Structure formats: structure tokens, C-alpha cells
A and B are shown apart, each in its own frame.
Chain A
Amino acid sequence: MEATSVRMLDAAVEAAALALFDSLGIPLESEASVGRSDDNIGASIGFTSPKLKGALVLISTRALVARALPSEVREGASEEQISDWMGELANQLLGRIKNKLLALGVALEMSTPTVIWGLELASKDTRSRLRRRFAFRHGGQPLSVFVDAVSAPDFEFTVSEAAQGPGIAEGELTLF
């Protein structure tokens, strides 16, 4: 994948993460390096398409995920709810990235998320041809997004009028 395509992917992931957490009342600041914590929770969700496949990993802290819970269920949230919401955040983040990549000619199929807990969780280098990481922070709490992917040798993102963007944007409701 050429540098232009990598920049397009980076822009899609960063914009999706900022917009998702902003919509939840958690404005994120970009960081130069991935933060560590001994209160980590993570979620991984896979994606595939004919020429690009891989996984997205979201890592943050239980405190930040609890703060991002919908206000109706935030008070006294259980560990089960925090785990569940971490999986849903990964799902919504990949959904937003998918919607942005539709306009670049790629339609990803998404898997369902897996949630993990631990001390100082980090995504290590893999054999993936494409490995991107994005570091953020909110209120002293770190949040990181990793994208590990492999692509076909001739794969590039393309901006074309033929490529359809999302039919309905995030937060919108359409009745048929």
C-alpha cells in the first residue's frame, strides 16, 4: 500500500475515533505515544474485504470506558456493563471507519468484538504488512487504537464519484 493510502486510512481512523468519543461527551486529545495503565481493558474486532483484512484493537482504562457509558446506565455500572460497552465502542468505532472507507471504494465486513482485561495491555508488532497506531488521552486517561491489516499487492484506496458513501450518517434515523 502506498503512502497516500496509508494517510487516507490514518485520517479515517483518527477522525472516527475523535467523532465517536466526542459524541459520548469524551473529547480526546491526540498524543505522541501510547499511554500505559495498570487498569486496562481492550476490545478487538476483525474486518475483511476482498483486498484488505485485519483487526482493530481499542485499549483504554475501565475508568474512561465507564465515563463513556450512556448516562442512563452510567451510575453504579457493573464490570459486566463496562466490558460490554468496551465491545460496543470497538463495534461503533469500526462502524464509523467502515462508513468513511465506503467513500474510498472499500466495503468492509465486520466481525463481532472480543473484550479483554489486564495489566498494561499493549498491541505488539505482528507480521502484518500494515500496522498503524493512534494514541489519545482524556482527563489523564489513555486511549489507543491499533489497526493491523494485510492488503492485496495492488490495493489502494481511491476517491471516485462511483464510490458510494454511507447511505445514512451516524446518529440519523430514516423510515422507509
Chain B
Amino acid sequence: MSKKVVVIDDSLTVRQQVGMALRQAGFEVLEAADGDEGVELVGRIADIAMVICDVNMPRMNGLDFLEAIKKDGKNANLPVLMLTTEGQPQLIERAKKSGAKGWVVKPFKPDLLVAAVKKLAS
């Protein structure tokens, strides 16, 4: 059975681009357009293998999403990779302390992203 990866980004195009790369690599992709939708999705689907999440989004941003899901003990080992335009060290440090497993600065290279997902979701 394909592993499920949740992609959270307010850009439809970025979700499509990430989704195409992951589906070609054999993953099942679920999409959310902001942190609020992401929290709902992660709470509703039990067997998610990992999450890829933008930082700057309306309603709930990616770092607040990360902190919100990590409060729930059942997500303690759920790998989260941040995919963003941001490179500010303080934001990277906040993500790291909150339990993120990696950080990608856009524009991303699909082959590198797929390799990271394969490693983190295994």
C-alpha cells in the first residue's frame, strides 16, 4: 500500500508540483491549503507517513501548525518537512525545536525532495 504524505501549501501550483513528484515516486498525496486544514486532516487520517508544510499561509501558518500537531502525543514521531521561501535562522530554529525534521527553501528540486521524503517516511 502507498504511504500517505500530506502537502500543506496555500499555493495550488506548489501543491500540484509537489504532488506530481511524490505520486510518480509511488506515494499517495493528500492536500491542505493552510495550517487549519492541515490540523483537521492530520487529526482525521490515522496512517499518515509524513507532512510537507509551507510556512507563510493564511489562517494558520506552518510553524503554528507544527506546534499544534506536536501537542498531540500520537504525532510525536510524525516527520514534518518545512517547504518555504523563508531562510531566517530564527524560524528554522523554531521549527527544529518544535519537532520538524527538515527545511527546504523554494524553489525546490523535485528529485531532492522525493529523496528526503523517502528517507523520512521510511
Contacts and interface: CB of A to CB of B under 8 A. Distances in A.
Contact of A167 (B10, B88, B109): B88
Interface stretch (A82-90, A130-138, A146-154): A82-90
A166 B42 CA distance: 30
B100 interface: yes
Interface string A94-111: 111011001000010011
Contacts of A172: 104-105
A111 B20 CA distance: 27
Contacts of B104: 168, 172-174
Contacts of A174: 92, 102-104
A167 B13 contact: no
Of listed B56, B85, B106, B110, residue having the most chain A CB within 10 A:
B85
Contacts of B93: 167
Nearest to B56: A110
B105 A170 contact: yes
Contact of A72 (B12, B20, B89, B90): B20
B57 A112 contact: yes
Contact of B85 (A70, A84, A96, A167): A96
Contacts of B106: 92, 95, 170-171
Contact of B13 (A88, A96, A164): A88
B16 interface: yes
How many of chain B's residues touch chain A, expressed as a range?
Answer: 35 or more
B56 A170 contact: no
B46 interface: no
A72 B112 CA distance: 16
A167 B93 CA distance: 9
Interface string A49-93: 000000000000000000001101100000011001101100110
A102 B87 contact: yes
A41 to B, nearest CB: 14
Given A88-B11, A95-B84, A95-B86, 9 more contacts: A23-B107, A72-B20, A73-B13, A85-B13, A91-B11, A99-B105, A107-B90, A173-B102, A173-B113
